[in-house]
Amino acid sequence: MGRGYIVEDAVESYLSQLCDLKSTTITGLLIGQSSAQRDYVVMASRTPPKDDSTGDCFDRDWVTEHARQVSRMLPGGLSVLGVFTISETDAKDTLITLRQLVFSVDNLISSERLWSPADDDVTDCVTLHINSKTRKTVCRTFDVKDPKSIAKPADWKYQSGVCSSWITVSCCLNVNMYLPLPTGKNTAETMEKCIKEELEIWAQKIENGVFLLDGKKLPEDAELTTGQVNTYVSLVFMPQLFFIIFFCCAHCFQCEQRQSDVVQKCGGSVSIRGTIHSRAHVHSNKPKARHALKRDMICTVATRVQMLLEELATSGGNVFSVPLGELLFPRRIFCPMKGRGPICVCDYQFSDEGPAEATERLKEMLDIDAEDDDIDMSHEITPENINTETADSEVAGELFSITPVEEKTEDSTPQKSTYIGKILCLFALIVCNAYGYTP
């Protein structure tokens, strides 16, 4: 028996509308959440047609780029599960093409991830073919981590209220990273590579962090809910993550001996700092909220770094071309998915953009008809909006900035840093012991 897919009935309505368009061929993405027992599909999104369309809706590069952009707009717990196509041809005639598409989509999205996959992560991706005339649906899966994987049949079942009882976990995270750049001339390519390597180190700290709920460290397999859950009530949890304390404490005996490794000659540095809002949606069937939230933290920081680097590359400049050395990263905004319980999608808004640009991107990338009033911009505040935003916003302060510094550090013994490091390690031990955690 193949995998089972529980699909929100709104997806059925959406796909039916696409069948009525009478287009030759339509491709798109299937979005939802995987679990060991079954997968949940909560959204389908048509791949936007190319401006210079040649009639080829199976343009692999175009579909995979759409998947990459959509993946950035999904909060924790949601991911691109696979692809769909609507055509008048037989399902067997599109099998090879759909296989190539689903492998390409997974390869590109996986290449941008900084978090490490878990042993129990689901590696099956879904392909769905719908005949626009007969409305016959054929669902198959491929193991994208196996290059020799063959198509397996899967069960595709529509159901109402799939995500109405899902749980939402969210928290704020203070980020303060100082990333050294190599000496010599820093091109856009070398700088991007260096920043990614440093971000991977930071991501590992996040993954090793201590996840607390109500001040308690829960077992990995602990349920977030007890008793009967009301189907139409959204439960929101505000966990805590002590990743910096944990990392320092776990390496407290190495802090002093590794201080010499911190001082190095560099051609400059990039400073990333601010406060971010992280959010994850998880189903109530043995949810892995801590994994989803940690991965969301990593992805939202990495996405903003990549977006700014892409913006600079497009403008023909680099970080060092900014005289004052400070650039604001885009802030995270959210848009609720109507009729899908607590589920939201997200976007990133630069300082010179308004809600109209966000609604336009939501329409283009996710085929969502949103109004300006639907955009929730209250969770992250940029410096220029501190006095104008609502006082009950979760984040008060600078969102994100990147600061290039042309400097070369002299080799010296950081006596002061060593002293501070010992104090931090001692403080980490006290805090961890207070919460009952022993490194």
Other C-beta atoms lying within 10 Å of the C-beta of residue 266: 18
353: left (phi over 0), alpha (psi -120 to 50) or beta: beta
- Contacts for 135 with CB less than 8 Å, ≥ 6 apart: 16, 19
Q: Are 269 and 180 in contact (CB under 8 A)?
A: yes
| Average pLDDT of the residues in 400-416 | 44
Which of 259, 262, 402 has the alpha carbon at shortest distance from 318? 402
Class of residue 157 by CB neighbours under 10 A (exposed 0-12, middle 13-18, buried 19+):
exposed
| Domains of the chain, CATH where assigned | 4-159 (3.40.140.10), 167-422 (no CATH)
Q: What does the pLDDT read at residue 439?
A: 52
Could you tell me which residue, 428 or 154, shows the higher pLDDT? 154
Of the pLDDT bands very low, low, confident and very high (cuts 50, 70, 90), residue 403 is: very low
The sheet carrying 216-217 orders its strands as: 216-217, 210-213, 240-242
Query: Nearest Cα to 289, choosing from 239, 249, 361?
Result: 239
Tokens of 377: 């911009």
User: Do the strands 79-87 and 124-131 form a parallel or antiparallel pair, or are they unpaired?
Assistant: parallel
Confidence of residue 323 (pLDDT cuts 50, 70, 90): very low
- pLDDT at residue 191 is higher than 80: no
Most confidently modeled of 44-53, 177-186, 375-384? 44-53
**According to the model, what pLDDT value does residue 12 have?**
96
How many Cα neighbours within 13 Å face the side chain of 317? 12
Give the helix, strand, coil percentages of the chain, each rounded to 5.
35, 25, 40
* Cβ contact 297:277 at 8 Å: no
Q: Provide the pLDDT confidence category of residue 412 given band limits of 50, 70 and 90.
A: very low
- Is the pLDDT at 406 greater than 70? The verdict is no
Which of 137-151, 196-210, 328-342 tops mean pLDDT? 137-151
Mean pLDDT within 154-166: 91
Is the model's pLDDT at 324 over the cut of 50?
no
> Which pLDDT does position 39 carry in this prediction?
94
Q: Which of 73, 317, 305, 107 is nearest to 198 (CA)?
A: 305
Look over the chain and give the mean of its residue pLDDT values, rounded to a whole number: 77
**Is-contact 235 167, C-beta < 8 A?**
yes
Is 5 in contact with 155 (CB distance < 8 Å)? yes
The DSSP bridge partners found for residue 4 are 155
State residue 247's pLDDT score.
Answer: 30
> What was the pLDDT predicted at 187?
65
pLDDT band at 264 (very low <50, low <70, confident <90, very high): low
Q: Of the given ranges (8-12, 32-36, 169-173, 391-395), which has the lowest mean pLDDT?
A: 391-395
- The SS3 assignment for 191 reads helix
Q: How confident is the model at residue 232 (pLDDT cuts 50, 70, 90)?
A: very low
Confidence of residue 373 (pLDDT cuts 50, 70, 90): very high
Q: Which of 264, 270, 332, 273 is nearest to 299 (CA)?
A: 332
